[in-house]
Amino acid sequence: MCGIIAYAGSRSCTGLLYQGLRKLEYRGYDSAGLSVLVDGSIEVVRAVGNMDSLERELKGNGHADARLGLGHTRWATHGRPSSENAHPHSDCSGKISIVLNGIIENYAGLKEKLAREGHRFTSETDAEVVAHLIEKHYDGDLLEAVRRTYADIAGHFAFCAIHSGHPQMIAGARKECPLLVGVGEEEVFVASAIPAFLSETRDVIVVGDEELFVATPGEVQVLDLGKKRLDREITRVNWDVGAAEKSGYETFMRKEIYEQPDALIDTIAGRMAAPGQVVLEEMLVSDEALAGIDKVYIVACGTSFHAGMVGRYVLEDWARIAVELDIASEFRYREPVLSPSTLVVGISQSGETADTLAAMRQARRMGARVLAITNIMGSQATRDADGVIYTRAGLEIGVAATKTHLAQIAAIQLLALKLAQVRNSLGPDAIGAIAAEMKTIPGLLADYLKNESATHEIAKRYYRQPFFLYLGRGVGLPVCLEGALKLKEISYIPTEAYAAGEMKHGPIALLDKGSPVVVVATDGHVYEKVVSNIEEVRAREAAVIAVATEGNEGIKAYSDDIMYVPRTSEMLSPLVSVVPLQLLAYHIAQLKGCNVDQPRNLAKTVTVE
Ligand code: AGP
C-alpha cells in the first residue's frame, strides 16, 4: 500500500527519493509524488499512475540543489487516484509539506473545522488535514506542531513533515503503521519500509508505536507523546541489497519461487539443533506455559491464512491439540471464546496487515497469549504479540507471496513440533525423524526446481481457459486454496477452490467438457478418496491436472496432465505440493501478458481494513 521516503543531508536528494519510491513500488500504488526544498521554498511534483509517470513529470526538473525532501507512493483510500490527491500535501502557505500512510478516521470533522477557520483544501484526501493542522499548531517548533497534530487525529497512520524554515529537519509520528529511520554519514532517511533506503544505509532506528521523532543529519530523536526522549539503539540490518533486485530473473516472483529452498533452510536453521528438541527462542513462552495451552487459534489473511490452515492439520496431528482457524477480518468482529490457556497465532508476512493486527490485539485484550509468525523484524505484529517466530525468507517484493508462504508453513510446523514436544504427544524419536525429514526438503525442492518444465507445458495448454476449479482434501486443501488464489491474483482468471469431498454439493455444476480441474492428489491417507473425486470430474469430461507424488504411476490413468512433486511424508507435503501451483499460476499469467509482480488493484501490504 502507501509508501513513505524522506531525506535530509548533504546530498542532492531528488534522485535518492525517486530511487526510494522505486523500491517501495512492490507495495502497490496508483500515484506518486515528492516534495523538495529548493532555494527556501518547497516544490511539489506529483503524478497519477506508475513511477514512469512521475519520472516524466520530473524530466528537466531535477532540483539538483535540494537537500531535504519527502516522497510518497499512494494507494487510494479516501479520494480517487489523481494528481491532486497524490501526496505530498501542503498547508495553505506552501511552507509545510507532509506525506502520510494509513487513515485519519476523524478527518471529515477536522476538515470542516479547519475550513471554517479559513484553511483552503485542494484534495479529497484525509491526509491533507495533517498539513493544515501542523500549520495551525506551528509557532516555530515543528516537533511541537507534530505533537499537537497527533493529539488531534484518530486512526492508524505514520506521517513525516518538513517545513521550509527548517532546511535540515524531518519530523513525524506513527500510530500502528511503521516508520523507520535510516542513519547515514551526515544524512538521515525516514521510510515506511527498509528497502526504501537499504542501498544507502543499513543502520536503522525503529520509531515505536505512538511515538514522535525528529531527525536531522547529525541527530535522531525518538520521543514519547509527552516529548520525553526515548533511548533507541541503532540496529544493523543484514538484508542483502541484491534481494531487492531481480538478480537475472525476469520477474521478482520467479526469483522468489526459486529462492524457496534457501527460505526453508534459513527458517529451519538452528531451530532443531538437539535431536528431538525444537528451539524457538524469540517465542518467549516457557515450556511450562506452553504445556498449559489447551487451544490454538490461528488468525491471518490471504496466503498467510492458507499457511495457517496447513498449521491446523499439523497441530492436530502432531501436537494433538484443539485448533481453531479464522480469517482475521471475521475474527475481529466476532466474540471468539478465548482464555489465558488459548494461544492465538497471528500469521502475517508483512506484520502490518490491519485486520490481522486488530485480531491479535483483540485476542490480547481478551487474555489470550499471542504469538506472531512474521517475516519482518520489528514489524507491528511483533509488538502486538507476546512472542514471535520469524520466518527468515528474506525480502519478498512480488505482490503474490511465494517464498514467505513456504517459510510460514515451516514456521507453523516448527510450532507444532514444539507443542508436540512439551505435550509429549510425540516422543523425541518421532520429533527427530520429522525434523530430519524437514531438513531434506530444501534439497528436494532445489532439485525439483532445477528440472522443472512440466508446469510451463501445461500452462501453454490451458492458459486460454476462462475458469479453473481446484480441489484438495486433508492437508491438500490449503494447498489447492493457495494455488487458486495465486492464479486469480496474477492472471485474473476466475477460480474456485474447494474441499474435494464438497464438490458434488455444488461446484460440480460448473464443470463442462474440457474444464480444467487442478487436483492436489499427493500420497496420504485420503489419496483414494481424492481419486474417487477425480473420477467424478472425469465423468463430466473435465480435464484433470493432478499434483501427484513422484513414482505414482497409477495416477496417469486418471489424469490429463500431471505435475509430479518429490515424495515426503503427508504432513510435510504442502512444502513441496504448493510449488507447482505457484509455477502454474506464474506461467499462465506470463502467457497472458500480465504484470505478475504488481497485479492490478492489489497491494503487497494491506494496512487498511
Ligand atoms: C498473497 O499472495 C496475497 N497478496 C495476500 O493474500 C496476502 O497474503 C495477505 O494480504 C496477507 O498479507 P500478510 O501476510 O502480510 O499479512
pTM tops 0.75, yes or no: yes
What's the 276 CA to ligand 1 centre distance in angstroms?
32
Residue owning the nearest CA to atom 7 of ligand 1: 302
Residue 306 burial (10 A CB sphere; 0-12, 13-18, 19+):
buried
Whether the CA torsion 576, 521, 572, 574 is positive or negative: it is positive
What's the 263 CA to ligand 1 centre distance in angstroms?
17
- Amino acid 103: pLDDT: 83
Q: Which among 440, 604, 609, 600 is positioned nearest to 30, based on CA atoms?
A: 600
**Ligand 1 probe mutation, 1, 303, 596, most atoms within 8 A of CB:** 303
- Amino acid 1: pLDDT: 65
Contact between residue 384 and residue 357 where contact means Cβ atoms under 8 Å apart = yes
- Give catalytic status of residue 177 as yes or no: no
Pick the atom of ligand 1 nearest to 604's CA: 4
Contact between residue 607 and residue 74 where contact means Cβ atoms under 8 Å apart = no
- Amino acid 243: pLDDT: 64
Contact between residue 8 and residue 187 where contact means Cβ atoms under 8 Å apart = yes
Residue owning the nearest CA to atom 6 of ligand 1: 302
Task: List, for the chain, all residue ranges whose pLDDT scores fall below the cut of 70.
Answer: 1, 27-28, 62, 240-244
- The torsion defined by the Cα of 150, 154, 155 and 161, in degrees rounded to 10, comes to -30
- Amino acid 241: pLDDT: 66
- Amino acid 156: pLDDT: 84
Q: What are the pocket residues of ligand 1 if the criterion is a CB atom closer than 6 Å to any ligand atom?
A: 301-304, 348-350, 353, 356, 399-401, 489, 602, 605-606
The secondary structure of residue 140, as a DSSP letter, is S
- Give catalytic status of residue 604 as yes or no: yes
Helices vs strands, H then E, count in the chain: 18, 25
What are the pLDDT digits (tens) for 71-81? 999 877 777 88
Domains annotated on the chain, with CATH:
3-244 (3.60.20.10), 252-447 (3.40.50.10490), 453-591 (3.40.50.10490)
Q: Which among 417, 457, 455 is positioned nearest to 437, based on CA atoms?
A: 417
What's the 93 CA to ligand 1 centre distance in angstroms?
40
What's the 264 CA to ligand 1 centre distance in angstroms?
19
**Ligand 1 probe mutation, 306, 349, 600, most atoms within 8 A of CB:** 349
Pick the atom of ligand 1 nearest to 485's CA: 2
**Ligand 1 probe mutation, 251, 253, 301, most atoms within 8 A of CB:** 301
- Amino acid 2: pLDDT: 83
Give dist(CA 577, CA 18) in Å, integer: 40
DSSP 262-331: HHHHHHHTTSS-STT----GGG---HHHHHT--EEEEEE-HHHHHHHHHHHHHIIIII--EEEEEEHHHH
- Amino acid 219: pLDDT: 94
- Supply 265's cell numbers: 533452510
Residue owning the nearest CA to atom 8 of ligand 1: 303
What's the 439 CA to ligand 1 centre distance in angstroms?
26
Query: 496 pairs with which residues across the strands?
Result: 469
Q: Count other Cβ atoms within 10 Å, centred on residue 245.
A: 14
- Amino acid 301: pLDDT: 97
